Structures are given as structure tokens and as C-alpha cells.
Amino acid sequence: MATFTMPALRYAEDALAPVISKETLGFHYGKHLQTYVNNLNNLVKDTEFANSTLEEIAEKAQGGIANNAGQVLNHSLYFEQFSPKPASNVPQGALAEAIVKSFGSFDEMKAKMNASATTLFGSGWAWLCADNSGNLSILQMPNADNPLRHGLKPLLTFDVWEHAYYLDYQNRRPDYINALWSIIDWDVVAGRM
Ligand code: MN
């Protein structure tokens, strides 16, 4: 039977401050994500998904299994994409070219992602996604929805559930979103193409 485990953090819990504080990481990664992992392990027992991969479950399941698998997948992608000291503050190579082709410029992509993350009503995720032809798009997805359910590849994601930012930014969701750009590891995002 598959047992899902916590994704390893690539940085110390205090390393992303002040963009994401140690306190927020402690609750968001250490408590919220751990709960989704525990729930998923309990829910898939003795179901058709008992031997499936996380991606298969996040794409195909329904109800509580889909919600918890989606949250494990989404948070794994979210926490993996950050670095306290990114090698570059802008994407490079094929990813940079795909962004220009799909959006006109990196700044235009950023503006669309900011608008998507800011205007998402309630809890959910803003995504930069790629289709099979390498065309990029930005989409809002509620709750635990993810690009795999829409036949798309996830590249970059902003968690806009209040638990992602409330300790650090309270109601100022746009400030949280703007700050995230400074800790994106573009090598990780490019590796998802
Ligand atoms: Mn979250």
C-alpha cells in the first residue's frame, strides 16, 4: 500500500523570512500539510486508490480523497518552488521564451498571476500552467483543485488560502503575493516544463 510522506523542505524554516515567517511555515508546512498527508493516508486505505501515485489520485479521485490528495500535491509544489537566495529573479532559457510567447513579456505574466491570485474569491490556488504544446496559461482554481484535473502541467503556484499568509499579512493578500516573487526558484519552475 502506498504511504504518503511529507515532502522535504529545501531550506530552514526561518530562511524565507520576512516573505514567509518561521511561524507561518511552522503552521502551514508543519501542521496544515501534515494533516492533509495524514488524512490522505487514512482515506485511501482499502480503496481503489490504495496503490496509486499521488498524481493519479489528485487527477482522478472525487470527494475527500481528491481534496486531500490535491492539497498534498499543491503544497508539495508550493514549498518546493521557493529559495531564500534564488540564482536569478527572472526565468531563463526555454521557460523565459515560453513566457514571452504566451504572454508577451515576463512583466505581463506577473501582472496576470498577481491579478489571478488577488481576485480569487475564498480559498484556492493561482497557477501558471503548460499544455501539451508548451503554451502557458494562468488559471484560478478553488479549494484543492489542480492543473492535472484539467489536462495541464503545473509550473508555478500561489497558495491564497488565508492560512498561507494571515499570520504575516492579515488581510493584505496583495502584499503577500507581491512578496512571493522574490523567493521563486526559477530553476525549479523550469524543471517542471
Ligand atoms: Mn496552504
Q: Is the dihedral of CA 154, 158, 160, 163 positive or negative?
A: positive
CB of 131 within 8 A of CB of 151? Answer: yes
CA–centroid distance, 159 to ligand 1, in Å, is 6
pLDDT band at 2 (very low <50, low <70, confident <90, very high): confident
Using the mean position of ligand 1's atoms as its centre, give its distance from the Cα of residue 28 in Å.
6
Average pLDDT over residues 90-102: 97
Q: Which of helix, strand or coil describes residue 129?
A: strand
- Ligand 1: centre distance to CA 51 (Å): 25
Measured between alpha carbons, how far is 81 from 62 in angstroms, rounded to an integer? 27
How much is the pLDDT for 39? 98
CA terminus-to-terminus distance, the chain: 30
How far away, in angstroms, is 147 Cα from ligand 1 center?
16
What is the percent of the chain with per-residue pLDDT over 90, rounded to a whole number?
A: 99
Torsional class of 130: left (φ above 0), alpha (ψ -120 to 50), beta (otherwise): beta
Cα(124) to ligand 1 centroid in Å equals 8
Cα 62 to middle of ligand 1, angstroms: 20
Nearby residues of 48 by Cβ (< 8 Å), 6 or more positions away: none
Q: How far is the CA of 93 from the centre of ligand 1 (A)?
A: 30
Per-residue model confidence as pLDDT tens digits over 71-88: 999 999 999 999 999 999
Structure confidence by residue, pLDDT tens digits, 5-41? 999 999 999 999 999 999 999 999 999 999 999 999 9
